[in-house]
Structures are given as C-alpha cells and as structure tokens.
Amino acid sequence: MPNPPPVEPDPITSKSLSGPVLVSSLLLIVSLVWALYDEFYGLRPWKNYQSRFRALYSSYLQKLRGQQAEEEEKIRASEGYKKLEEQWRAAREAIAPRESEIRAEQNLTERQLAVLTDLLPTARGLVTSLIYKLETAEGASAKAKLQREVEEAKKGPFRARVPQKDDTLKDVNFTYDELISEYNRLRERKAALASQISELYARANRVQKQLDEYLSERLAGPRASDVERLQSSAKRFNVEIRQIHVLSTPTFGVPETVLVDRCQSCHIGMDANLVPPTVTLTKAALGVDGSTDAPFTTHPNPDLLKIHDPKRFGCSPCHGGNGRATTSVVKGHGRHKYWLWPLFYRENFDAGCQQCHARDLVLEHAPTLTAGKELFRLRGCMGCHRFQGFDDEDEQLRAVQQEILQQEKIRRENELEIARSNEKGDAAATNEEAQRWYRRAQRLQADNNRIDASLEQLERRSQGLLREWKKIGPNLKEVRLKLRKEWIPVWLENPHTWRPTTKMPRFRLDRDEIEALSAFLWQSGIRERIPQQPRGNPVRGKELFETRGCMGCHAVGETGGTFAANLSRLGEKANYDYIVRWIHNPRERTLPYCPYEKRDLTAEDYRKKGLPFVFGPENSRCPNDGHELQIQQMTVMPNLRLTWEEARDIASYLMTLRQENPDSYPAAPFMNDPKLKERGRFLVRHYGCAGCHEIAGYEEEGRIGTELTNEGSKPIERLDFALLTEKAKRGILPDGSQSPRGKWYDHKGFFENKLGNPATYDQGKVKEPLERLRMPTPNLRPDEIKGLTTMLLGSMDPTIPEQFRYRPSGPQKDIQDGWWIVAKYNCVGCHQLRATEPSVLMTLPRYQDPDWKEQLPPPLVGAGARLNPDWMQQFLENPALSESQLDRNGVRTYLRARMPTFNFSPDEIRKLVRFFQALSSQPLPYVPPKVEPLTERERILARQLFTHPAAPCLKCHMTGEPAHDRTATAPNFLTARERLKPAWTERWLLDPGRIQPGTGMPTGLFRREGDRWIFSGPTPAGFRDYRGDHSDLLVRYMFTFTPEEQRLLLGRMPASPGSGSGEPQGKK
Amino acid sequence: MDWHQLWEITSAPDNIPIVAMLFLIPFYVWYGLRQALANDRLLAQLEADPQMAKSHHRKIFPWKEGWEREVHTWPYLMRIELLAAIIVTFILMVWSITLNAPLEEPANPNLTMNPAKAPWYFLGLQEMLVYFDPWIAGVLMPTLIIVGLMAIPYLDANPLGNGYYTFRQRKFAILAFCFGFIVLWVSMIIIGTFIRGPGWMWFWPGQTWDHNRLVFEVNRDLHEVGLFSWIPGIHSVVGKILFGAIVVGAYYAAAGWLIHKLCTATEFNRKIFGRMSLIQYLTLQFFLTTMLALPVKMLARLLFRIKYVWVTPWFNT
Amino acid sequence: MKRTHILTIVLLALLAVVAACKKEAETPKVEEGPAPAATTAAIDPATAATVSGKVVFKGTPPRRNRIRMDAEPNCVALHKEPVYAEEVVVNDNSTLRYVFVYVKEGLGDRSFPTPAQPAVLDQKGCVYMPHVAGIMVNQELHILNSDPTTHNIHPVPVNNRERNVSMPPGAEKLVFTFPREEVLIPVKCNVHPWMKSYIGVLRHPFFAVTGTDGSFTLQGLPPGEYVIEAWHEKYGTTEQKVTLAAKETKTIEFSFTGAGGD
C-alpha cells in the first residue's frame, strides 16, 4: 500500500553536508599550502637575502671587472711592462726552433718506449719463471739442464716492431739483455728530454713571472681575470645556510663543537669563500645606500679580521646575538627577552672586545672601549667599585704579606726537620743510612736558602707595593695645611659648579651632612706646621708652568691636560706655603703613616726612641715596631726636581688664578664644632670617601660599591630598576619622554641611565636620606657615558669558549702590563707612545710653533728598538742621570720640559722596560752586539767627517759646551754608547723621518752608492779611497766616543756662542 | 586600567588555550544544555503517549510519518565527525604556523622566574597550593580527583540518559560536574593565568604586574581567630589537633547532611538513592564533601585569611 | 542551525589564535637625501675683475733684531752688512712687507689648472728667498742651496705631510709639491735656527705677497662676493669682504697695528 508523501523531509537523512565539508576541506588545503610556504620561505628569510645579494653582487662584479680591465690596459701600455713583454716574446722566440726538435724526439722515444713496455713483461715472465725453477731444482744435473734452458730463453729472440724517425716500423730482434738495456736507455732519454724542455722554458717563465708581478704590484684590487672567475662562481652560487663551525681543541682526541654561527647566511658579503679579501663591498658600491635592510657589505674593519680570523672566532663571540638562529632578524640578533647575549648596539660594538681583553687597557681597534676604560680609571670609579686589574695594589699587598707568612712557616718547619735529620744521621747504625739522613738535611737546607732569597724578594715587593699604592683623591689629613677652611663646604655642595672637569663626583648631600663632613675633615686633619715661604715671581712662574711640562697633566682654563686637576681657581682654595712644598716635591709627607699601628707617627714617636724626626726611602721603618712606613703622599704626581725658587714662582703664579675673591666664601664656624665630628666620621664611612682619599682612621677602609668585574652578565632581574621597571619595559624614559630605542629594560638601558644620573632609580621612592642610593653623580658627557657603558656591557664572565680568550704570556703580557703603568703615570701627557695618538703637549697651542716643536719631549714610538734596556732602567730610576745636579734633564738638558722623577717601584721599572722592549719586539735581557773598533785611519776620517762644514752634526747635537748646549736640539753623542742600540742608530742616520716623522734630524744625509752608503755632501779629501760604509763608520765612531774625543773635536770646531734666535719664542 | 599589561598576558602564546577556553566552555555548556532541554521536552511528549514511546527510538527529531525509524551511524554520524575532524585539523595547522612554542633562555638555578607558573592544565593544582598544605594540595587532592573520576561509573546508579543529552534525568550528575569542573577546576586555571602575578599575588585584570609590589597580609590558623583563641589550652599541640579534628569533623557532618538532602530532594532522586548500595553512597558522599571542601576553604582563605583549620605536626588542612 | 554553530566555533577559535600571534618588530627604514650638486663655472676673462690695495702698518715699527750667524762662518762671509730678521719689515711708506693676501672664500668649487712653471725657494747666505711665497696645490716648488754649507729644508705643515731633507752644498735641487691647501706652511732649517720662510699653498691663483711698497693685486677674479684675507707671521690675520661686479677694479686696504699703535 502506497505511503502518503511525508509531511516534511527527514532533517538527518535529507540534509547534505557536502557544502561545509567542501569549504572546510578547501580551507584545510589552503592551510597546507600556507604551511609549505612557511616551511620554505616564511621561516627562511635568508633565502631572500641571498638571492638579492646574488643580483647586486654580480652587477657589482660586472662594473668592477670593467674598471680593473681598464686599469690593466693602462699598465700594459706602460713602458716598463712593454719592455718586459718584449723580453718575454724574445725568450719565447728563442725557444721555438730548439723546442720543436726536442718535442719530436720526445714523441719518438715515447712511442718506442711504449712498444718495449708491452714486450718486456712477457720476456721477463718467461725468464724469471725458468730461473725460479733453476733455484728450486734438486741435483746438479737438473740445475745444469735448467741453466741451459735459461740461456736459451734469454737468447730470445724477442721480436718487436719499433717505430723509427721516418715513421716506419722496423722489426727488431732483441735478446733478453738487449731488451732490458734498450728499455732503460729509452727511459733515461725520456727524462733527459723532459729536463731539457724545462730548462728551455726557464727564462721565459722567469720573465712571465716578472710580468705578472709587474701587473699585480701596480694594480689596486683584483685582476680582471680573477674578477671573471668570481663572476662565474657568483653565478654558480647556491642559496644555502652559510655557517662557521668551530671545533674545540680536541680533548682525548675528540673535538667538540664550540660554535656555530650562521650570520653569513644573511650577512653574505662576509663569506670569505664567496667574496675574497681583495674585494671590498660597501653599500655605496652595491647601490643600496641608506637601506637598513641590506646586510651585504664586507666587514668594515678587515685589519681586525686579520687578527681574529672568522673561521676561528666566528661572529657571535665578538658581536653577541644568536649565531644559530636563522628564522628572523630579531632572533638572529638575539634582541628578544629570552636571549641573554643580544647583539651589541652599534655604538657599543667594542664591548665585544672587553669580554676577552678585560686585562688590556689599550686596544688599537676599540677606541670607544679604550676611552671608557681610561675614563673608569681617571674618574676613580674603582675607588668604590672593585674591578679586577684596576688599582689592586692594596689587594696585592695583602697577598704578598700572606705569601711571606707562608714561606716563613715552611722555613721554620724545614729548620726543625734539618735538625731532626742530622740527629737521626748521628745516631744512625750504618754510614750509608747516616749519609742518607745528612743528604736529606742538605737538601732541606738548600730549600731554605732558596726561601731566604724569595723572602728577600717578597719583602722588596711589599715595600714597592706600598709605594705603588695610590689614591685618586688628595690626602685629606692635610686639609688644614692645604686648604682654605671656608672653601670645603662650598666644594662639597657641588664640586662641578666650582670645577666642572673635576674627578670628584657630586654626592647629593643635605646641608647638615655637608657641615658634618667638613667639620670632621677639618677637625681630624693633622696640625703640624709647615715652613713659611717667601713670595715668588708669578710671571716667571707662568712661563715655567707652561714650559716645564705641568700642562701635560694640568690645565688652566681650556688649555692643558685633563689627567689631573684643572687649576684655574687654585688661588681661591689653597694655602701658598703648602703649594710650594707640593710643587717642590709632591711626594713629601708631613707625617709618615704606620700601617701596623694604623696611625700617623709624629715627631713625638721618634723622640721617644731618641731618633731624629726624619723619614724617607732610606729610613722607612717604623721606630716603634720596625714595620714598613707609608713615607710618601699617595699621589701619582711626580717630582719635577725644581729648585725651591722655581717652586715658589710657579706657586705664586697659581695663587693668582682666581675667579672670585675667596673672602666672599661664607664663614664656616660649624667646622670647629666638636659635636658634628662624630656624625661626620659616620658619613665618611657611609659615603665611602676613603675609597679615593686618605682620611684619618679610614686608611684601611674597603670599597663600598658593588664589584663590576662581571656586571655585564648580571641577570637583568638583579639590576634594580625600582619603580622604573615597567617604564623601562615600555620604552618610557625616566623623564617621561619616549626612548628613541624603544624598550630599555636591558643592561645598556640600565647603565646609561644610572651613569647619566645615579639617583634615577630612586625616582618616586620614599626613602630616609641615608637609604638613598649612594652612588654620586659623576657629571659625564654623552660620549663618556657611551664609553663606560660599552666597558660595562663587555665586562661579563664570558660565555665564549675558553680557546678564544686572550691570555697572553711573554712579550704580549709585558705590553699588557706596561700600558697600566703608562696610564697610571700619564706618560702620554708628554710622550707620544702610539703612532696614532699625539701626546697632550703636542696638542697645546704653544707647541704648534715650529720652533717649539723641537722643545717637545722625545716620542717613544719604537723606543724599545732605540734604547738599551739597562740604560732605560737607570734613567727611569733617576732621570737626571746624576746624583749631584738633580735640577736638569739627564739627556736633553736643552729641553725646557722636565722628565720628572716618579719614584717608581722596582717592579714598575721592570714592567716599563719590558713594555718598551716588547713593543719593538726586542728580546730580554739585552746582549749588545759587538761594535768593531775603529782603525786609527778610520778614526781620523770620522773626525774629519764630523767636523766637516758639510756635516752639520755638531750644530744641533749637544757638545758639552754650555753656551752651545742651551740652544742645541739633540742629545750629546757621549750618551750614545750606553743609551742607544747600534743597529737602530744606523737606521736612524739613514732616514730619521721614517722612524720619527717631524724630527729635526734631516733625511738624505747619506746616499746609496753600489752596496754602501756614503755621505751625500762633499766629503773630506781622506775619503777618496775609503771603501767602507760611511754611516757604519759614523755609528762605530759614536759608540766609541769619549769625552777626550769630544774635547778634541770641539777644538777643531768654530766657536759657536748661542746663536740669535735659538730661544724659541712662544706664539701667544 | 593597564591595557598594556592585560594585552601582555592575553597575547602570550602559552595562554592561547586559556583565552580560547574563556569562550569555548561557556559556549559548549550552553549548547549542550540547550540540546538537553529540547530532549527533555521530547521525553515529556513521549511519556505522554506510551504507544509512540514504544515504537520510538529517535531521541532527537521525534519520528514522523514516512521517516526511517532509525538512521545508521554511517554515513549520518560519521560525516559529521569527519567534518569536525577537518575543521579541528585546520585550526591546529593555522595555530602551529602562526605561533611557535616560546623557547626561553637557559634555566638559571640561582634565579628562578617570577611568577613561575605550571603548564596551564596544572594551574588549578598550583592554585590549590595557596589554600592547602602542599601535602594535601599536591598529593592527596590530585589522587582523589583521579580516583574520583575513575569511580564515577561505579557510583552512577542512574540508568537513564545514555546516548542522548538530557538534563531532567541527570540533574544531579550534571550539576555536580558543572560545579567540580567549571566552578572549581576551570576557574582556578583562569585565576592562575590572569590573576596571579609576581610573587603569586592577587592582581585584578588590568592591574600592573609590578615586581616591587608589596602587600601586607597575615594569614591565621582558625584556632587563632577571635573567640576560638580564648578556648583554654587550644594553643597546645594537642589542643590544636583536637580543635582542628572537631571543626573538620563538623564540616564533614554538615556537608554530608547537605548532600544527603540533595540526594533525597526529589522523588526521582530518592528513587536513584534507593538503587544505591551503602558503599556506593558513602563513597559518593566522601568525594562530594571533599570536593565541596575546596571552595569552602578558598573562601575562608580569601575572605577571612584563614590559613589552616586543622593544624597537626604531620599535615595541615 | 548546526552548520552556523560549527562555523561560529571555528571563527571564535580563529579569532583567539589570530589575536594571539605577535608580530616581530621590523627595523625602521632610513632614507637619505641626495648630496647637493657642485656648482662650477668657468671664468670668462671678459668679465674678470681685479682687487688691489696695500697693507698699512699702524704704530711704531719694532726694532728688527739682528741675526747673529756666528755659528755659520760660511754665511757670515757672504754678508757684507749685518742681516736683520725679516719677521716684521715696515717699508718707508709705512706699509708692511711680507703680508700674504689671498682670496679666502667666494670662488665656490671652481678648479684651476696647476701652473707648469715651478716656484723657487733659494737658500742664499743662510737666508731663504723669498721670505714669504705663495704656490698652488701640486705646483712644483724647487729648492736650491746656493750656500757653501749644509742646510736642511724642513717645512712644518699641518695639513700636508711633513718632511725634512738635508741639502749639502751644491746639492741637486729638491722638488717639493704640496697636495693640500694650507696657509701658510712655515719652512725652517734646523741647522740654522734663524732661517724662516713661509709658503702659502692654495687651490687657486688669487694670492699676492706685499713687497717693498706694501701693495698687492689680485687679477682675473670672476664677479662675485669674496672674503679676502691678509696674513702676517707676527700680527696674524685680518679679512675683508668685497663684492666685485664684472670688469670692476676695487681697491681695499688692510692694516696691522704693531706695539704702540693706536
């Protein structure tokens, strides 16, 4: 029966889902495609970079090739090239005829040889097999029979169709022996012919080589042909991950991967396999100027790469960033919160160097870092913050003293042991045993002797360290003697307003704190009297101040060094008598300090022991307990060996330097208020004043700041951004403005803001005065902040593999150590030490004048090659080179600038000498070469040359004749023997300008003649038939120069009173 | 209102599931209930007409003249499942392309991250640590949850509601589930994700997660609160143990009574109750009361700063 | 019904996903403008103008201190009458000698050919002649030694490279060139400290040195605005602005004031 039609269709069975299924499946497919794209391009941006690079690079090469080709054409057209080419062609032609016939013979021989080589094996096989039979046969008769067979076999005949000259084939029958000999003959012949050919070519090839050299020497950049090769390789280059893969030095023969850097996948210009060092890619050259998304250039500092080969060092160890990441720029540069070693920002690139070169003070290729470290030292940051290597004399001192105790202990034990052994020996049963014991005693005794020696050295070292130990700031025990009372609070208020360039940072002190501090300092100051001084002559003082070299460190107004205080307002604060004493000898101390009793000794202590109240290098031991005393001011300012008169003149001049009348300073009665003293004492400790100053009762005070040696790798969470944390994370600067860099919640951001204003992170906090951040405001310029930030960023315990770190020994180490001393005493104030860095004096206006240029202290670039280390050591110890007359320079008495006495410790002197020798790669100890003595005739010749009118030696060089020496501009020849090294002296004579640009000593005194140098002026008659080398003659003469000789010379010289314009007039 | 902060949290790749959950769970609850209620209406209709009820096998789309009496799993069910599968795959694809798993910096044992959060599906447990002694929150509770879940089939004495959505026939089960899963588990995950900031402190949404934030909060054990503290000898160890035991016991009694009331509230419930063996019923009681203890303790902690109720040398609750 | 729900789920989930995917920051692009093009125009002799004038000296002329050459007998021999320093030489018409007058600014980027004929600096009787001279960049400067003694020729430039060459009597002439502009390079002899000369090196030929009448003339200047500077080794520099029309001849006067001048 038929069903009635349904009222409505079944919602399940009737409905079709094909629509949705279709749509969603399509979506699924789309997502699949997307996934594939993402896999191949989305996650591999470097592919895009590489293909872009390929285009740019090849078009650049095209251009380059054109240029180079032109250049080469020019050179090819040049005379020299043509000549060579001519020779070359000639050579080739010379070869041609001979060559062909040799070739022909070669060819024939080879063909013949081929035939015999085929034949030989069969023949040999046959014979040798028979011989074998013969050898192994039993019985005489059998042997005889076989013998005959062998003979038969050898007769052959062995038939071969040997090719002949006329290309015919000739049947030849060889016996076995003939065959062998013929074969050998042919082989020898073949070799002979080959060598003939090469001989034939020798000359042509030589010329060919010359041609190539001629071209490459005159052509800047690569040869066109090379460029062509590059082009083809650039065409064939395939888009792929380019990575540097560094293995560790194998341990147990298993090297492990220490580094994988894929930076070159995008920075593809740096891939040496693709872009050879001869090619330099700049954005301009590639035509992508201004684009910030074209990382295609070659490394901007190839010299640096020469020292740090990327194949060994990779990229990320220096630059930071995530060398493995390839999925995006941000990831690769590690500029996201999960990568702890992000790429250093451009202005802080040098930070990378610091990681391994923390112990180097001067890095030629890292100016920012070098500046930063110099500043760190100069501003005395290490007064509060420990930083390994910076001013660690106090630590060393403690270490040495420990060591001494150690050694003494061992020594005592040995003593006992010796005694015991001897007893045992005496009581021994047999002689042998006794001997054993005695020998043991002897051995221990030997040990003790060694220990005695080392103890003696350690003692000296600890003395030396006490001398090396300096403070950044002046000695505040002597405030009463040195300073105007009212000035102190004014200064504490804000040092920068009074002296903008000062090292002293501004402690954000409240009024009462200032009063307490000044009160304490004033009242704890020592009250001894220092001698009154008569007034001096300010005008002469000014002259002296500007010419003696003071300005290498000190400035007045704008001009002068920044190493030490700017003295523009000295007159307002200082006490004349004290300044005189200070200038006369800054190291002179009013009272010696005894580190053992921890107090300054007074005349009283000495009187008690019935000793005269004198202390100094000679008697530097404490009268009470015999401990080594601090007998010097802990300042780096050296003793310029000025006369009292000069000192007075300079002091009087300095006292005239004022801006406002010191009497206008507000009176400070509170400074005598004993009630304030205690508070002051506390504050001194609280603010760590003793880090930089000597303060009564705080001589042994430690540093109050955090250690910064590894500050760069401190976890970001440990840097206290305080209430600025969120702002930093959102790129809002403390002042509320937007940071140009965006988020600054990183080390860079922290350091920069902290250095700019240390109080920043107190912003918005509610704190008790004493809880506030203590770090004082250093008043830094932006570039200075940059430098310090760079240094701190790099100061991390490096994640870099051990094998990359710079841990020099020997000469490198000497150089490293030396720079610290050089910086400590500011040698570069007066001397030039780096070819690229002028000394401070060189930059002063006065010394721009050509005449004054000769008054500059000698540059020390390459001094190690010039100076005899032994002499150097004497000189550094006593630059006057004389015990009696100290008021002079040891060598260049005519210089107005004075080489001061630094009271170096033996260790410092050792380091300095080593430093200079190492810089010129001179081995130590120095063994002077034998200077062959002059024959009588040579001596006469040398004399003649010296005094000859054409030879101006004695016009500039000192002769020991006072009048002349005042105006001389070069040292006395007498000093040469101990002072100079002969080899250098000769180089110097030949071309001084090359060794020391701008020297007064002229070039071209000698000219080359054949294999010798001869004087270029008209020579005295005696030289006609002198075959020797003139420069060598002079050097030898110099190194055998004696006072008598000098007098003799002077006798022959025309008298020369100080000629007119000898005195340099300083241009105002 | 700190939108930046809010965005930071919600946009963190590892919080995506939770953000999604915020939308998805309510939606599905609503969707399921909607279907359940529809079914309930249908059931009512069917029960009204026993004739039809007998012949009727479709629980949804009640049978009409001319329809198949039954529809087969294939293709009618399978095709829908296929569709679902495709869509889910698509979503997962897009998700995995657009968001990579965040690989964080190397762990530094001297410096743990703050806040340190468990993976989202464990945040509930971590949140519980705030309210209970670790031993209970970390060991006991999780075990109970698992065991409880396993026990459900054996505790379920209700024969109805298999294979179709219904509310009326499974009120009790559904409510219990909603309470246990949504109110407790899910909400605690959400709290753990969006509310708990540095130092596991309570930050309302839109409040800045300030690492330097300081909050003063003293948590007291129950016996130190108000009147209790006056009870003599309560501060002795024994006193504490006894007091805690009593309070906890009291709670169980009360909660048990409450739940019993629920189990026997309606005619239907009573019928089910009747079908249960004693062991079943007690187990059910135990799990439900324990489950109920969680929110009670949470409130006690959040509102009255009660740390522990039962303080013993071995464990605290 | 059902379908719409499923789609809504998909959309919701998608929204959540999309909302959550963070874009990584991109490095900002920096565009640089092109450098301004150089303006060079040849000089048309027809319109060439001239600046001339003299350098007046105010105040009392300082005493010229005598040069004592005793250190160099050969030179003493060469001089009948005493030799005086040429630092400040005031002519009878109270004008100043040895003043180097040149066009400092106003020529734009015009380039001028380097003259083929060399300038000459002779050392005669231990005195440089001329005392002050001007040459053009890369123009050859021939240095002669007509003395029976050894000199060394030592220019002390700032912008150019420094050299210092010994010249024995009767030595080959030396040829120096200076590739960079510099006003003025002092030249000295280390052997004879009193010897001094100054060489001005310019990129253009518009310079003059005042002579016995203290006058100077700069010819062939294209019309335009110029800064003209007068340089003296002791009294430093002064400058003047002049505006030249075509063919115009302007007369200007520089003046230096010595000690006691008002």
Chains contacting chain C through 3 or more C-beta pairs under 8 A:
A, B
Q: Which member of C5, C6, C12 has the closest CB to residue B23?
A: C12
At residue C193 the predicted structure's pLDDT band, cuts being 50, 70 and 90, is confident
Contacts of C31 in chain A (CB under 8 A): 290
Interchain proximity B20–C12, CB inside 8 Å: yes
Does this complex have an ipTM over 0.90? Answer: no
| Residue A1032: both structure tokens together | 């060598």
Q: Which member of A3, A24, A730 has the closest CB to residue B87?
A: A24
The whole-number pLDDT of residue C261 equals: 45
- One digit per residue, the tens of pLDDT, for chain B of length 317 reads 788 899 989 988 888 888 999 999 999 999 999 989 988 888 888 888 777 776 666 666 667 777 777 788 888 889 999 999 999 999 999 999 998 877 788 788 888 888 888 888 888 899 999 888 888 888 999 999 999 999 999 998 888 888 788 898 888 899 999 999 988 899 999 999 999 998 899 999 988 888 888 888 888 888 888 788 888 888 888 988 999 999 999 999 999 999 999 889 888 889 999 999 999 999 999 999 999 999 999 999 888 888 888 888 888 87
A469 touches A397 (CB < 8 A): yes
Model pLDDT for residues C2-20, shown as the tens digit of each residue: 444 554 555 555 544 444 4
Q: Is A1065 exposed, middle or buried (0-12, 13-18, 19+ CB in 10 A)?
A: exposed
Contacts of A1000 by beta carbon, 8 Å cutoff, 6+ apart: A854, A956, A969, A970, C154, C164, C190
Interchain proximity C17–B98, CB inside 8 Å: yes
Judged by phi (left if over 0) then psi (alpha if -120 to 50, else beta), residue A314 lies in left
Average pLDDT score over residue span A423-436: 93
Q: What angle do CA A738, A741, A743 make, to 5 degrees?
A: 75
Q: Is B89 exposed, middle or buried (0-12, 13-18, 19+ CB in 10 A)?
A: middle
Does A300 contact chain C (CB < 8 Å)?
Answer: no
Interchain proximity A956–C148, CB inside 8 Å: no
Q: How far from the centroid of its chain's Cα atoms is residue B294's Cα?
A: 10
Nearest chain C alpha carbon to A964:
C71
C228 touches C63 (CB < 8 A): no
**pTM, rounded to two decimals:** 0.84
Beta partners for C53?
C216, C252
- Token look-up 């035509």 returns A287
Q: How far from the centroid of its chain's Cα atoms is residue A90's Cα?
A: 53
A589 touches A699 (CB < 8 A): no
Q: How far from the centroid of its chain's Cα atoms is residue B128's Cα?
A: 12
The whole-number pLDDT of residue B114 equals: 84
Interchain proximity A1018–C85, CB inside 8 Å: no
Does B84 contact chain A (CB < 8 Å)?
Answer: no
Highest mean pLDDT among A144-148, B159-163, C20-24: A144-148
Model pLDDT for residues A977-1036, shown as the tens digit of each residue: 899 999 999 999 999 988 988 888 888 888 888 888 988 877 877 888 888 888 899 999
Interchain proximity B99–C18, CB inside 8 Å: no
Contacts of B211 in chain A (CB under 8 A): 725
CA-to-CA distance for A219 and A226, rounded, in angstroms? 12
Contacts of A595 by beta carbon, 8 Å cutoff, 6+ apart: A466, A627, A628, A629, A630, A699, A700
CA distances for A736 relative to A111, A316, A597, A724, A730, angstroms: 94, 34, 54, 10, 11
Q: Is the pLDDT of residue C25 over 50?
A: no
Nearest chain A alpha carbon to B94:
A31
B173 CB neighbour count, 10 Å cutoff: 16
The whole-number pLDDT of residue C19 equals: 45
Q: Is the pLDDT of residue A1055 over 60?
A: no
The whole-number pLDDT of residue C262 equals: 47
- Token look-up 């025309």 returns A1054
Q: Which member of C66, C148, C164 has the closest CB to residue A999?
A: C164
Interchain proximity A949–C70, CB inside 8 Å: no
Q: Is the pLDDT of residue A1054 over 70?
A: no
Report which of A299, A285, A278 is spatially closest to residue A216, judged by C-alpha positions: A278
Radius of gyration from C-alpha coordinates of chain A: 42
Least Cα separation, residue A344 to chain B (angstroms): 18
Does A715 contact chain B (CB < 8 Å)?
Answer: yes
Average pLDDT score over residue span A214-229: 87
CA-to-CA distance for B142 and A943, rounded, in angstroms? 108
B56 touches B45 (CB < 8 A): no
Contacts of C24 in chain A (CB under 8 A): 328-331, 336
- Token look-up 């020898």 returns A188
Concatenating the DSSP letter of every residue in A49-64 gives HHHHHHHHHHHHHHHH
Three-state SS sequence of chain C: CHHHHHHHHHHHHHHHHHHHCCCCCCCCCCCCCCCCCCCCCCCCHHHCEEEEEEEEEECCCCCCCECCCCCCHHHHHHCCCCCECCCCCECCCCEECCCEEEEEECCCCCCCCCCCCCEEEEEECCEEECCEEEEECCCCEEEEECCCCCEEEEECCCCCCCCCEEECCCCCCEEECCCCCEEEEEEECCCCCCCEEEEEEECCCCEEECCCCCEEEEEEECCEEEEEEEEECCCEEEEEEEEECCCCEEEEEEEEECCCCC
| Residue B43: both structure tokens together | 């059931």
Least Cα separation, residue C27 to chain B (angstroms): 21
Q: How far from the centroid of its chain's Cα atoms is residue A79's Cα?
A: 44
Nearest chain A alpha carbon to B210:
A726
Question: Nearest 5°: phi and psi at A679?
Answer: -55, -45
Q: Please name the residue ranges forming H helices in A78-175.
A: 79-136, 140-155
Contacts of B83 in chain C (CB under 8 A): 6
Contacts of B209 by beta carbon, 8 Å cutoff, 6+ apart: B5, B8, B197, B198, B203
Radius of gyration from C-alpha coordinates of chain B: 25
Interchain proximity A1018–C164, CB inside 8 Å: no
- Token look-up 């004087």 returns A1015
Nearest chain B alpha carbon to C1:
B31
Average pLDDT, chain A: 89
Contacts of B237 by beta carbon, 8 Å cutoff, 6+ apart: B313
Report which of A332, A328, A302 is spatially closest to residue A319, judged by C-alpha positions: A332
Interchain proximity A1060–C154, CB inside 8 Å: no
Q: Which member of B11, B24, B31 has the closest CB to residue C22?
A: B11
Contacts of C171 in chain A (CB under 8 A): 1016-1017
Interchain proximity B20–C18, CB inside 8 Å: no
Q: Is the pLDDT of residue A155 over 60?
A: yes
CA dihedral B241, B243, B248, B253 (to 10 degrees): 130
Q: Which member of B13, B23, B90 has the closest CB to residue C20?
A: B13
At residue A203 the predicted structure's pLDDT band, cuts being 50, 70 and 90, is confident
Nearest chain C alpha carbon to B83:
C6
Question: Nearest 5°: phi and psi at A957?
Answer: -75, 145
B25, amino acid identity: I
Least Cα separation, residue C6 to chain B (angstroms): 8
Contacts of A29 in chain B (CB under 8 A): none
Interchain proximity A291–C68, CB inside 8 Å: no
CA-to-CA distance for C67 and A124, rounded, in angstroms? 104
Interface of C with B in 11-70 (CB under 8 A): 12-14, 16-22
Does A340 contact chain B (CB < 8 Å)?
Answer: yes
Contacts of A25 in chain C (CB under 8 A): none
Best C79, C164, C184, C197 member to test A by mutation, with max A CBs in 10 Å, is: C164
At residue A578 the predicted structure's pLDDT band, cuts being 50, 70 and 90, is very high
The whole-number pLDDT of residue A906 equals: 93
Does A44 contact chain B (CB < 8 Å)?
Answer: no
Contacts of A715 in chain B (CB under 8 A): 108, 110-111
| Residue A1050: both structure tokens together | 């002077």
Contacts of B101 in chain C (CB under 8 A): none
Contacts of B23 in chain C (CB under 8 A): 12, 16
Does A157 contact chain C (CB < 8 Å)?
Answer: no
Highest mean pLDDT among A241-250, A865-874, C31-40: A865-874
Task: Give residue ranges of B with CB < 8 Å to any C CB.
Answer: 10-13, 15-16, 19-20, 23-24, 27, 31, 83-84, 87, 90-91, 94-95, 98-99
Q: Which member of A951, A1016, A1059 has the closest CB to residue C194?
A: A1059
Report which of B20, B189, B12, B11 is spatially closest to residue B102, judged by C-alpha positions: B12
- Judging by DSSP bridges, how do beta strands C49-58 and C249-257 pair with one another? parallel
CA-to-CA distance for A2 and A37, rounded, in angstroms? 59
A1018 touches A950 (CB < 8 A): yes
Q: Which member of C6, C13, C22 has the closest CB to residue B20?
A: C13
CA-to-CA distance for A975 and C132, rounded, in angstroms? 39
CA-to-CA distance for B225 and B247, rounded, in angstroms? 13
Average pLDDT score over residue span A174-193: 91
Report which of B138, B101, B112, B135 is spatially closest to residue B200, judged by C-alpha positions: B112
The whole-number pLDDT of residue A1047 equals: 85
Would you say how long chain C is, in residues?
Answer: 262
Compare A158 and A261 and report the one with higher pLDDT. A261
Interchain proximity B71–A25, CB inside 8 Å: no
Least Cα separation, residue B122 to chain A (angstroms): 23
The whole-number pLDDT of residue B59 equals: 65
Among A70-84, A260-274, A620-634, C43-57, the minimum mean pLDDT is found in C43-57
Q: Which member of B16, B23, B87 has the closest CB to residue C20?
A: B16
C37 CB neighbour count, 10 Å cutoff: 7
Contacts of A28 in chain B (CB under 8 A): 86, 89-90, 93
Q: Side-chain half-sphere of A484: how many Cα atoms within 13 Å?
A: 20
C151 touches C171 (CB < 8 A): no
The whole-number pLDDT of residue C39 equals: 43
Chains contacting chain A through 3 or more C-beta pairs under 8 A:
B, C
Run of H or E residues at A459: helix A431-468
Average pLDDT score over residue span C159-171: 86
Model pLDDT for residues A910-967, shown as the tens digit of each residue: 999 999 999 999 998 999 998 888 888 888 888 888 887 777 788 888 888 888 888 8
| Residue A809: both structure tokens together | 């020994």
Nearest chain C alpha carbon to A950:
C150
A304, amino acid identity: L
Nearest chain A alpha carbon to B108:
A715
